[in-house]
Amino acid sequence: MISVKLENIEQLLRSYGKVADTVRKEMKDALDRSAAVVESTAKRLTPVDKGHLRRSIQKPRRVRAGDKTTAVGSNVKYAMPVHEITKNRHTVGEAKFLEKALKRNETKIRKHFKQMIDNILYKLAKYR
């Protein structure tokens, strides 16, 4: 399972009490968009036999405002060995599909969080 963790957000929320809801909403949106791109890429990279593992790859259905982390993963018992054992040769997909999905989307994820910060700063300026 891959997760994203944001640190020191509580200090930001305390510093700007009346915009805390804005910060939470923007953070929720950035986390949700980031998880969605990783999920999509991971599904394309997941090895397929019958498709059950690929269908099981998912992000949370709903990221709540105030969440500081999100995850993309699978609840299928054999997901970890399929992900971790790199010596297996797959006709469709490849090992390390979650890690590769995260790495391939780093630029998009950074853009989502840059947009989050830009949106927060823009809204903070409006509150002055």
Task: Provide the residue-wise pLDDT of the chain in tens; the chain has 128 residues.
Answer: 666 677 777 766 666 566 778 888 899 999 999 999 999 999 999 999 999 999 999 998 877 767 788 899 999 999 999 999 999 888 889 999 999 999 999 999 999 999 999 999 888 877 65
The string over 36-45, giving b where at least 16 C-beta atoms fall within 10 Å of a residue's C-beta and e elsewhere, is: bbbbebbbeb
Q: What is the reported pTM? A: 0.81
